[in-house]
Amino acid sequence: MTRLEIPRPATFISLTGFMGAGKSRIGRELARTLMLHFIDLDRYIERRTGLSIPDIFRHLGEEAFRQMEREAVQELLGKEYLVLSLGGGTFVDPENRRKLLARGPVVALWASPETILERTLRKPGERPLLQGENPLERIRTLLEARTPIYREAHVHVSTDNRKVEEVVEEIVEKLWSYAKAHRP
């Protein structure tokens, strides 16, 4: 081990889960804890295009956004020492899912529909898929449809009523267990 190599459970970690589960927030803290680089896929796409996520949806449409996500995932798979926080729909795409699961551990963050509503209401207008009448119903329906997909992640952590530091600590512990169980 060289001096710069510190023990880490993994060197490429993706975070998935529903909108408001905490991927962006927790990913940044996880990267800090493990001394890894951090990229939030939505912010990466916004920087690349010079457009906000709501503007991409409004002016170019969801399918154009999904294509941008696929391209961004493909570009970032080549990076090393990275925590990558995905958007809530990135892992729904089968091609993204296959590639990310093969690249390194994927962590799914979970939260109840009520927690998701409370967290996403903090910045109304930021999440185009939750606009319109009855957002709680929208969250319930979409979460139910996506649950079997998020279940494909390697590691699962609940974020309901838990501090960011607690969630990060549990992720690190579970990543070590995962690494030990899957050591070549």
Ligand X SMILES: O=C(O)C1=C[C@@H](OP(=O)(O)O)[C@@H](O)[C@H](O)C1
Ligand Y SMILES: Nc1ncnc2c1ncn2[C@@H]1O[C@H](COP(=O)(O)OP(=O)(O)O)[C@@H](O)[C@H]1O
The binding site for ligand X (CB under 6 A) comprises 19, 23-24, 42, 53, 87-89, 127-129
127 known ligand binder:
yes
Nearer to Mg ion, 126 or 170 (CB): 126
Nearer to ligand Y, 23 or 154 (CB): 23
**Chain centre distance of CA 42:** 10
Partner touching 89 among ligand X, Mg ion, ligand Y, none, CB below 5 to 8 Å by kind: ligand X
Query: Does 24 sit near Mg ion (CB under 5 A)?
Result: yes
Count Cα neighbours of 162 within 13 Å in the Cβ-side half-sphere.
Answer: 20
Q: Torsion-angle region of residue 71: left (phi > 0), alpha (psi -120 to 50) or beta?
A: alpha
Q: Rounded to the nearest whole angstrom, what is the least distance from the CB of residue 110 to ligand X in the complex?
A: 13
Query: Does 129 sit near ligand Y (CB under 6 A)?
Result: no
Whether 41 contacts 91, CB under 8 Å = no
Query: Does 149 sit near ligand Y (CB under 6 A)?
Result: no
Partner touching 159 among ligand X, Mg ion, ligand Y, none, CB below 5 to 8 Å by kind: ligand Y
Q: How far, in Å, CA of 2 to CA of 24, rounded?
A: 31
Query: Does 157 sit near ligand Y (CB under 6 A)?
Result: no
Whether 41 contacts 29, CB under 8 Å = no
Neighbours of 98 (CB within 10 A): 11
Handedness of CA 148, 158, 119, 72 (dihedral sign): negative
Query: Does 52 sit near Mg ion (CB under 5 A)?
Result: no
103 known ligand binder:
no
Partner touching 34 among ligand Y, Mg ion, ligand X, none, CB below 5 to 8 Å by kind: none
Please give the residue ranges that form the binding site for Mg ion (CB under 5 A): 23-24
